[in-house]
Amino acid sequence: MSAQERLTDSLYGLGWGIVKKLPEPVAVRLGRSIADLAWKQRGKGVLRLESNYARVVPDASPERLTELSRAGMRSYLRYWMESFRLPAWSKDRIRGGFDPKGLHHLTDGLAAGKGVILALPHMANWDLAGAWVTTALETPFTTVAERLKPETLYDRFVAYREGLGMEVLPHSGGTAFGTLARRLRDGGLVCLVAERDLSSSGVEVRFFGEATRIPAGPALLAQQTGALLLPVTLWYDDSPVMQGKVHPPVEVPETGTRAEKTSVMAQALADAFAEGIADHPEDWHMLQRLWLKDLEPRPSSDGARP
């Protein structure tokens, strides 16, 4: 393990060890202070966030983009402060911390017993949404986590999410898809963060008018298992309660090859994500290159949420 990796692991460990013990108003102020400091430094992540917002809000003035990036960093740090504190939240605090609209799409799908796939972009705090599902709905689910370096950091995230009631599978290794399919065939719930492709098998879509790739997994799982595919978007308002929307199902086309069906479904998923992001751009935490034009000649190692 390199010195940088040891430092990264230690900082995350301090976050989960110390921040969760702070009074909530203190944690909120700390998160905002860190966000404003990072924003003022104009590092790679902030500049990339601003560049991504320029595609989401193409008519925004330079002043508007800087305002958005500041709000975006505050939202991003709210995510981290909440995540560090979630293991210490009571069940009542979790139940009261999220107010999703369109929930009937999820509950009706689960009641039908055919399995449900929730697909989300990196908006607001999906860990809180997941904790709400396992607590308020008393429904366990399976998800996939990106392999992080160092390995001890990956282990921290797995332990954290398992502590919230999630089953966590590694993204690499090639066995995740089969396990997810089995869970869905058993009528279970699968949740996937799905607007950034981490493999070489992504599906090209138009996203805010430009080409990018998103994972094929959600669409393929829906086709293979008959599970319901539901896009979900999340956002913050001025209250301590996170907001969210479960969008109508992405249907499997009746005709076409598997690749053609996957392409159509991936585009529908991207369109639902774009709708939610356009309404609440400051809560989309994409500090990495995303669009194909930006990925050339190779992906960046900008900061990201796992």
Residues serving a catalytic function are 122, 195
Residue with tokens 């053609």: 260
Q: Across the strands, what pairs with 304?
A: none
Measured CA to CA, the distance from residue 305 to residue 146 in angstroms comes to 10
Q: Which of 288, 273, 145 is nearest to 205 (CA)?
A: 273
Q: CA separation (Å) from 63 to 2, 49, 50, 70?
A: 39, 14, 11, 11
Measured CA to CA, the distance from residue 201 to residue 291 in angstroms comes to 15
User: For residues 116 and 133, is the Cβ–Cβ distance under 8 A?
Assistant: no
Question: Tokens standing for 128?
Answer: 């809180």
Q: Across the strands, what pairs with 214?
A: 203
Residue with tokens 């605090």: 93
Output the CA torsion 25→236→156→110 (10° steps). 130
Question: Tokens standing for 215?
Answer: 């994972």
Q: CA separation (Å) from 14 to 19, 153, 169, 175?
A: 8, 12, 25, 32
Output the CA torsion 299→302→303→304 (10° steps). -30
Q: Which of 36, 75, 32 is nearest to 242 (CA)?
A: 75
